[in-house]
Structure 1
Amino acid sequence: MVKMGANIFQNVSRQCRNLGVLYPHQLKHCHTGTVPAEYLKGTWYPPHQYHYHGQEEGPNIASTLPLDEVPPKKAKAVVCGGGMVGTSVLYHLAMLGWSTDTVLLEQASKRLAQELAEAGHDTGWKQCGGLHLALTRDRMTHFRKMKAIAEARGTECHALTPEEVSRKCDILNTSDTVGALWVPGDGVCDPYKLTYSLLKLALEKGSHVVEECQLSRVVVHDQRVVAVETSKGMIECDFVVNTGGMWARKIGQMSEPRVKVPVHPAEHYFLYTQPLEGMNPMMPAIRDPDANIYMREFNGGFLCGGFEKWAKPSFERGDLPGRLHERDLLEDWDHFHVLLKQMLHRAPVMKNAVLGRLYNTACSFSMDHRWIVGMVPELLNYFVAAGLRSGGSSAAGGIGSMIADWIVNGTPPMDAYDLDILRFLPAHNNRRFLIDRVQEVPGIHYSIAYPFADFTTGRCLRMSPIFPKLKANGAVFGQVMGYERPSYFQRKENINSKDYEGDTENSAPFQMAFTNTWTKPPWFNYVAEEYAACRERVAIFDYSSFAKFDVWSKGSEVVQALQYLCSNDVDIPVGGIIHTGMQNSYGGYENDCSLARIAPNHYMMIAPTIQQTRCGTWLKRNLPADGSVVLSDVTSMFTAICIMGPLARNVLSELTDVDLSTKAFPFFSFKEIDVGLANSIRAMNITHTGELGWVLYIPNEYALHVYNNLVSVGKKYNMLHAGYYAMRSLRIEKFYAFWGQDLDSTTTPLECGRSFRVKLNKNIDFIGREALERQKKEGVKRLYVQLKLQDHNPEVDPWAWGGEPIYRDDVFVGVTTTTGYGFTLNNLICLGFVRKYDQNGQMAYVTPEYVMDGHYEVDIAGVRYSASISLRSPSLPSKFPEPQDNRYLATQT
């Protein structure tokens, strides 16, 4: 029974009357289930049909399910959490033959099935189409970009005018819309019926489901899970899958070492109305992202909800509820009022509807709004599928299949680095950080995906010692892996308030970088100056966010271990630097790094910022188990400052006694030097962009001293501070690939023009060698290319920002990976992979001759622009004092 206090009821009634909505007094007699709605392709479907006092109960089909009272003593896999994702994992494991040896632990899955039956209605798949409304031109540009890639991959969708929207759904108010995206193949289904079906099929295969079974401990021995302890006994197991939803973080804390799953619940609101005369049962599922709302037809009425810009964290002051039925929260009409007002504006007929109930339920969100999947870094046989927001319906099938395939076959079936749990650091699991961040995360769901989107919460988490100095010099910061690093600098003499498009609600004590446009960005002129300084004079960068590791041994063990891990020959002279990939068994990049040989038995590894956890985990899992090779993450021990440009040698030579000539300190070499009064500075003649310069890895206590001296000396050379946007332009123009943007765990060196960095001509075994030898013999099915747009006007046309379709002779052959403005080439540059498809649509082997022989276009928001193509780095005018071998320049960020 739902009971409302008189004051609350009067307040709710007053708000609804003010909006022209009828509110039923029967609500006081309404009793409902407590399972939150799930999300499918942008629409919501309710967990059950609400029913009023006196309505007959439906048949109990759940009683037909053979659930276990007690768990088995042993199992191959234990799935902790029986929602849609857990059930999907169970089902897919069963389909792969792991049925009788798989156990799902759940507190209330039987009740979900009962509620589905009690609803008394058939709610299978309904292809009603999806209608996405746009209230701004930028939103419509976003839709056109989505349409371009969707159509290239075979999905039908259409851009509509406001008049066409009205004809598609005549109950909508389109007076303030500028258009819409129509996806006719979209639709809705009942996630709980789907869950029940998956559960039933898994049980028929012999899987076990133990209900009302609480997990209390995950037992670990030698970095592996060996058993789980439950309220109904101990289960020995080979694998554990944490699908605990908003409890996933808590489940992670039940092992030693603790598994870090950075999720936290936030309140989510949705409501039903009673049936409304004239409702079209095939009404499209409506999304109005600029108003932060969604709505669809449900049982003759409306089902509506939204993702407000700033959400309310759930259970902020206390622990999570112990049971599923405690998940629903008190209604907050004041908080929901803004969304309700937008719903009534968009569908005025809704004012005639009688409300059923407003739901406030806790939904789990990750700290960056993306799902969390994969094998955890702490243990070898522990998997996670969490942070699905309210998107269980749309995600569960694919995630369940991927996790099951990964467990059974030992490797993931696809690359999903942007969803992998290895993208996080332990700091991201901090509860206060998560509570702060989860206020902002739900609103990201409907935000326009502008380039370089970032968060305003959870900032100032990781900073280099020179952060205050950079801030004082006009740095505008972005964050990667929680690290604040300059994206560009606003020079005080040039600052124009109109040039900066920040979030006006941001109250952080520093400037944050935002690119709230699809066209020429507001920071363009700043980056142009920084680029010019790198090419013509000298610039100073903060590279401190790079992941840094020391790897050493007592004897030669470290060399042997790295030779097996790395695809390049790392047995280089002391003082040398080598760029290498670390391949997986398929030949793909698990890591892309530079190795400096500090001593015969000591290397320093520099890896991309986003690979700090991933790289460290890969090394730990593949270095000798006997402890003969020691690995230390030294990322936070060093401040990294890069000075770059033709005059970099002039600046540094005034602060050190070391001979910096090319003969004494050649490219791709390392020396430990003094700078100013500071010693033990690890200096590397490498810039990661192709320009002359050095990266100085400075013990943190010396960082400010070295920085101040470099800036002081640099004044006479007109040295400029520069950020990562300039670095991006430099490397894209020179055709350098970066891991996580261009490369991933499925990309091989032969596909991206790096076969010269692979030691196939030496009798040295390494991970992935067999796969690369086979690919070299058979050929590749994609090649990395650089495209220069030819008929694009960067002043007025929308820019390519990555993910745009590439066409060869009017046939779709790939997508752009990263893009940027080439200030020397004086146009927009796109990087990406070109494929060849046979008549059956299957990827075929591709050759350089095929790639170069064709007319290319890049589709930007529905307009195709001609482009010239290249497989080699372009020849750029050089201001270097001497030539540099571009082939061996490192490529990471």
Structure 2
Amino acid sequence: MSDRNEAGRDAEAREPATGRETRPELPARARVVIIGGGVIGTSVAYHLTKLGWTDVVLLEQGELSCGTTWHAAGLVGQLRASESGTRLVQYSTQLYAELEDEVGLSAGYQRCGGVTVARTPDRMMQLRRTAATAEAYGLECELLTPAQTQDRYPAMQVDDLVGGIWLPGDGKANPTDLTMALAKGARMRGATIVERVRVTGIGVEDAAVTSVRTDRGDLEAEIVVNCAGQWAKQLADAVGVTVPLHSAEHFYVVTDQLDGVHPDLPILRDPDGYTYFKEEVGGLVVGGFEPNAKPWRSPDDLPYPFEFQLLDEDWEHFSILMHSAVERIPALADAGIRKFYNGPESFTPDNQFILGEAPTLRNYFVGAGFNSVGIASAGGAGRALAEWIVAGQPTMDLLAVDIRRFARFNGNNRWLRSRVAEILGLHYAIPWPNRELETARPFRRSPLHDRLAEQNACFGSRMGWERPNYFAPPGEDSAIEYAWGKQNWLPWSAAEQRATRTAVAVFDQTSFSKYLVTGRDAVAALQWICTNDVDVPVGRAVYTGLLNERGTYESDLTVTRTGPHTYLLVSSSATTERDQDWIRKNVPAGADVHIVDVTSAYAVFGVMGPRSRDVLSRLSDADLGDGAFGFGDSRELTIGSATVRATRITYVGELGWELYVPAEFAVGVYEDLMSAGSDLGVANAGYYAIESMRLEKGYRAFGRELTPDYGPVEAGLTFACKLKTDIDFLGREAVEKAKAAGPRRRLVSFVVSDAEPMLWGGELLLRDGGAAGIVTSAAWAAATGACVGLAYVSAPDGVVANRDWVGGGTYSVDVGGTTYPVEVSLRPPYDPANERIR
């Protein structure tokens, strides 16, 4: 029997009696058309109808669940790397448990708990950190000895284990049952689901969707939602939308029945052995994520039809997983194999799924690329995307999965094939906090890249840019030696910090996002979009936030007025697409405003430190004294033979300038800087040093301290809001309400009292011994001689986290299960009066 027929029979066996209705006619129009009838598409349909949008049509080229969904393993693990991701899955589990009462069909969901085991001390350190995170999020989690893991899972041998954790909230769902239940719920509230109809194109007019073309005719559509699984990229490419996905082969087997295996057996994960185990009909599903993955066909070359189909068996490739599985559960050595599954799944370049409205095409939404966590995520992700569609913007923090984190270059199929092989292989690797991906690099390069490589730079990557993390001494291997404690590069980064604090350092910050905003109405538009007053004299730079209607952060950046109707906006590397999309969507209708991305046109050099003025003065005739060139001033000046824009600003807390240098002059300017500062102690410095020094100064970073879950009152940034003026801005009303009520959460700086522990961010902060928050950012800092960081501390319900409350507690931080005292303050630990920068 062929794989296709056998897979189809298996799907029929899994599929519940659904009372499938006769195929409906294709409507002539719909408010929303969803493409793809897997678990994600049906979840979006279900949640749209739950929000009252009933004019919804879902189109599936085969039968519901026939693509990737039907062969998913169905694991539902609640704890994720971020609080927002964890809340999404928590909602999924609640929904799956309640669906049967609502629609009369079971989702096949069972809460059976999960055991994750560690074979090494490094893995156990990760699990202890996981347990601390669970405490912060209010999830049950218990640390286990090897013997206790065996009590939870008797079939496993534990002689080689260090320990484990128990997550009682984990569970499993039947993917096909879940899909059918969601589909029925959507139908019950008015949605139309049409199977056996293939989408062939999307109608577009004036950069907005107008219709969906199919092999059974066209239908008008106000909104299109691409939930087409591994076909999503091909559909998106046709309309110029970037959905970077590439399929890879994913393997698991189902065994015959085994003694001691019962329906209540927990999910077992053995990430050091690359494997997971789930009970199914008295046997075990044995699968995993092998370290050397197998990408499948190019996204441009996917087969059609491809319903309930599997790929060829590859026992040789699966052998590493099976060998490891037998080590963990010896009874598998004699178990019969009922079925070998090799199904293609689509993966993204960063192992996070994709949600949101395309920045290049209005009313075109995407929900795809779920990287083997689609069943766990489907409920929460479907609700989040439906709310985004209805509200016109995200209603929660979705930064990690936002489609706008990718740019056009991320859609290159060759680049994707290389990257996805690594991403799948890292699925069960130890998630080192500063892990750098290795494939498809170097990618985007600053004009200085080769010069810095010659000086032994270790490069990291952000938005594809190669950026120096630090510089190793001559003759040293510059590669990162990963560890949970202090890593090999720490002394080198500390030397860069000291050079910045005592002399002068040059940072290549070319990866900054840079936009020109021009036009007759540029001032008025930016006054509405920005929290701070940007109607400043030409030649002034202003730090500002960009907020949504809820008064929480969509970005933070620097706005420099370069002319009467011209501004230069400088933002973080990762937000290039997101920032521009947000600004365009919030410019008042009819305004004469133009946005141009000039990121690649300019290199950026941070020249920072008490001797920075001396270095620049040797290269320029301009007066750089405090009276002539104050903090926040920005103007063009000559540096050697080049003309650059110099802005007196800092992200490290020292006297310094950022130089915006036309790319073709970058190498020459860099050479001049290093030559002019050779007798002043000038040093190259990297982003690890920036991270340490910005935390000593308490400077916030978008995506960590500033997210769509936090606003200026909680973040301590109301000084960057024009609340003392009568100028309105987006989110002002919400900020004023938050200020009047007082925050329940407050961002604080802290310094660890002990110099030895290493913090990376994500650690549990305790107040008076109880969980109070999560560290958003942390690093070892030379000036304080210990780790410093930022964290949101939460007050109990009804209590305002004011200065007195924050200062009235005793704080500590949980570092891999060991707690250390920390000193907490609303002021930065380094130069709180800002004397050094001014």
Q: TM-score range by the shorter chain?
A: over 0.9
> 1:380 — aligned with what?
362
- Name the SS for the 1:247 alignment partner: helix
Please say if residues 136 and 773 of structure 2, whose CA atoms lie closer than 8 Å, have aligned partners that are also in contact. Answer: no
Q: 1:123 offset after TM fit, Å? A: 8.3
Partners of 1:212 and 1:845 in 2: CA distance: 56
Alignment RMSD (CA, Å): 2.3
- Name the SS for the 1:411 alignment partner: coil
Please say if residues 311 and 442 of structure 1, whose CA atoms lie closer than 8 Å, have aligned partners that are also in contact. Answer: yes
Which structure 2 residues correspond to residues 339-738 of structure 1 after superposition, within 5 A?
339-492=321-474, 495=476, 497=477, 502=479, 514=480, 516-553=482-519, 555=520, 557-626=521-590, 628-679=592-643, 681-738=644-701
User: Could you tell me which amino acid in structure 2 is paired with residue 529 of structure 1?
Assistant: A
Partners of 2:384 and 2:136 in 1: CA distance: 25
In structure 1, which of residues 124, 133, 152 is the aligned counterpart of residue 117 of structure 2? 133
Q: 1:755 offset after TM fit, Å? A: 1.2
> 2:243 — aligned with what?
261
Residues 34 and 670 of structure 1, relative CA distance in 2, 3 Å threshold: farther
Structure 1 segments unaligned to the other structure (5+ residues): 4-29, 36-45, 51-57, 503-513, 886-893
Residues 48 and 146 of structure 1, relative CA distance in 2, 3 Å threshold: farther
Residues 732 and 48 of structure 1, relative CA distance in 2, 3 Å threshold: farther
Please say if residues 67 and 208 of structure 1, whose CA atoms lie closer than 8 Å, have aligned partners that are also in contact. Answer: no
Partners of 2:826 and 2:12 in 1: CA distance: 56
Residues 110 and 831 of structure 1, relative CA distance in 2, 3 Å threshold: closer
User: Could you tell me which amino acid in structure 1 is paired with residue 324 of structure 2?
Assistant: Q
> 1:220 — aligned with what?
204
Q: 1:731 offset after TM fit, Å? A: 0.6
Partners of 2:308 and 2:265 in 1: CA distance: 33
Partners of 1:377 and 1:437 in 2: CA distance: 23
Which structure 2 residues correspond to residues 779-858 of structure 1 after superposition, within 5 A?
779-790=742-753, 792-794=754-756, 797=757, 799-838=758-797, 844-858=799-813
Stretch of structure 1 that moved more, 542-551 or 104-113: 104-113
Residues 802 and 34 of structure 1, relative CA distance in 2, 3 Å threshold: farther
Stretch of structure 1 that moved more, 464-473 or 813-822: 813-822
- Name the SS for the 2:200 alignment partner: strand
Residues 151 and 624 of structure 1, relative CA distance in 2, 3 Å threshold: closer
Partners of 1:210 and 1:548 in 2: CA distance: 45
- Name the SS for the 2:338 alignment partner: strand
> 2:21 — aligned with what?
66
> 2:63 — aligned with what?
109
Q: 1:844 offset after TM fit, Å? A: 4.8
Please say if residues 824 and 876 of structure 1, whose CA atoms lie closer than 8 Å, have aligned partners that are also in contact. Answer: no
Please say if residues 280 and 297 of structure 1, whose CA atoms lie closer than 8 Å, have aligned partners that are also in contact. Answer: yes
Partners of 2:258 and 2:580 in 1: CA distance: 58
> 1:448-484 CA deviation, whole Å, 9 max, x = no partner?
1111122111212111111000000110000000000
Aligned pair 1:191/2:175, yes or no?
yes
Partners of 1:353 and 1:610 in 2: CA distance: 49
Please say if residues 585 and 767 of structure 1, whose CA atoms lie closer than 8 Å, have aligned partners that are also in contact. Answer: yes
Please say if residues 509 and 603 of structure 2, whose CA atoms lie closer than 8 Å, have aligned partners that are also in contact. Answer: yes
Residues 240 and 877 of structure 1, relative CA distance in 2, 3 Å threshold: closer
> 1:150 — aligned with what?
134
Aligned pair 1:773/2:736, yes or no?
yes
Q: 1:154 offset after TM fit, Å? A: 2.7
Please say if residues 65 and 179 of structure 2, whose CA atoms lie closer than 8 Å, have aligned partners that are also in contact. Answer: no
Please say if residues 697 and 832 of structure 2, whose CA atoms lie closer than 8 Å, have aligned partners that are also in contact. Answer: no
- Name the SS for the 2:117 alignment partner: strand
Partners of 2:247 and 2:533 in 1: CA distance: 48
When the two structures are superposed, what TM-score results if normalisation uses the length of structure 1? 0.87
Stretch of structure 1 that moved more, 149-158 or 644-653: 149-158
Partners of 1:127 and 1:708 in 2: CA distance: 62
Partners of 1:692 and 1:778 in 2: CA distance: 37
Partners of 1:453 and 1:70 in 2: CA distance: 51
> 1:588-635 CA deviation, whole Å, 9 max, x = no partner?
121211111111221111111111111111112123554622211000
> 1:238-293 CA deviation, whole Å, 9 max, x = no partner?
211111111111111233xx111011111111111222344344332211101111
Q: 1:301 offset after TM fit, Å? A: 1.7
In structure 2, which of residues 187, 190, 195 is the aligned counterpart of residue 206 of structure 1? 190
In structure 1, which of residues 741, 745, 768 is the aligned counterpart of residue 704 of structure 2? 741
Please say if residues 689 and 730 of structure 1, whose CA atoms lie closer than 8 Å, have aligned partners that are also in contact. Answer: yes
User: Could you tell me which amino acid in structure 2 is paired with residue 193 of structure 1?
Assistant: D
Please say if residues 489 and 721 of structure 1, whose CA atoms lie closer than 8 Å, have aligned partners that are also in contact. Answer: yes
Please say if residues 133 and 181 of structure 1, whose CA atoms lie closer than 8 Å, have aligned partners that are also in contact. Answer: yes
Please say if residues 33 and 115 of structure 1, whose CA atoms lie closer than 8 Å, have aligned partners that are also in contact. Answer: no
Please say if residues 735 and 873 of structure 1, whose CA atoms lie closer than 8 Å, have aligned partners that are also in contact. Answer: yes
Please say if residues 79 and 242 of structure 1, whose CA atoms lie closer than 8 Å, have aligned partners that are also in contact. Answer: yes
- Name the SS for the 1:717 alignment partner: coil
Q: 1:735 offset after TM fit, Å? A: 0.8
Partners of 2:650 and 2:716 in 1: CA distance: 20
Residues 278 and 626 of structure 1, relative CA distance in 2, 3 Å threshold: closer
User: Could you tell me which amino acid in structure 1 is paired with residue 458 of structure 2?
Assistant: V
Please say if residues 559 and 567 of structure 2, whose CA atoms lie closer than 8 Å, have aligned partners that are also in contact. Answer: yes
Please say if residues 67 and 210 of structure 1, whose CA atoms lie closer than 8 Å, have aligned partners that are also in contact. Answer: no
User: Could you tell me which amino acid in structure 2 is paired with residue 868 of structure 1?
Assistant: E
Please say if residues 70 and 308 of structure 2, whose CA atoms lie closer than 8 Å, have aligned partners that are also in contact. Answer: no
When the two structures are superposed, what TM-score results if normalisation uses the length of structure 2? 0.92
Residues 67 and 203 of structure 1, relative CA distance in 2, 3 Å threshold: farther
Q: 1:327 offset after TM fit, Å? A: 5.0
Partners of 2:139 and 2:832 in 1: CA distance: 44
> 1:505 — aligned with what?
none
Partners of 1:437 and 1:189 in 2: CA distance: 30
> 1:76 — aligned with what?
31
> 1:249 — aligned with what?
233
Q: 1:411 offset after TM fit, Å? A: 3.0
Partners of 2:578 and 2:481 in 1: CA distance: 28
Partners of 1:782 and 1:137 in 2: CA distance: 34
Partners of 1:326 and 1:84 in 2: CA distance: 14
Q: 1:691 offset after TM fit, Å? A: 0.9
- Name the SS for the 1:837 alignment partner: coil
Please say if residues 531 and 546 of structure 2, whose CA atoms lie closer than 8 Å, have aligned partners that are also in contact. Answer: yes
Please say if residues 781 and 846 of structure 1, whose CA atoms lie closer than 8 Å, have aligned partners that are also in contact. Answer: yes
Partners of 2:246 and 2:810 in 1: CA distance: 49
> 2:2 — aligned with what?
2
Residues 277 and 824 of structure 1, relative CA distance in 2, 3 Å threshold: closer
Residues 767 and 627 of structure 1, relative CA distance in 2, 3 Å threshold: closer
Partners of 2:368 and 2:771 in 1: CA distance: 34
Q: 1:670 offset after TM fit, Å? A: 1.0
User: Could you tell me which amino acid in structure 2 is paired with residue 188 of structure 1?
Assistant: K
Please say if residues 327 and 362 of structure 1, whose CA atoms lie closer than 8 Å, have aligned partners that are also in contact. Answer: no
- Name the SS for the 2:526 alignment partner: helix
Identity %: 39
Q: 1:89 offset after TM fit, Å? A: 0.7
User: Could you tell me which amino acid in structure 2 is paired with residue 393 of structure 1?
Assistant: I
> 1:85 — aligned with what?
40
- Name the SS for the 2:791 alignment partner: strand
Q: 1:112 offset after TM fit, Å? A: 5.2
Which structure 2 residues correspond to residues 35-46 of structure 1 after superposition, within 5 A?
none
Partners of 2:512 and 2:732 in 1: CA distance: 28
Aligned pair 1:319/2:283, yes or no?
no
Stretch of structure 1 that moved more, 403-412 or 201-210: 403-412
Partners of 1:404 and 1:68 in 2: CA distance: 25
- Name the SS for the 1:418 alignment partner: helix
> 1:176-232 CA deviation, whole Å, 9 max, x = no partner?
211111223322221211111111121122210010111111112222212111122
Partners of 1:249 and 1:411 in 2: CA distance: 22
Q: Which has the larger radius of gyration?
A: 1
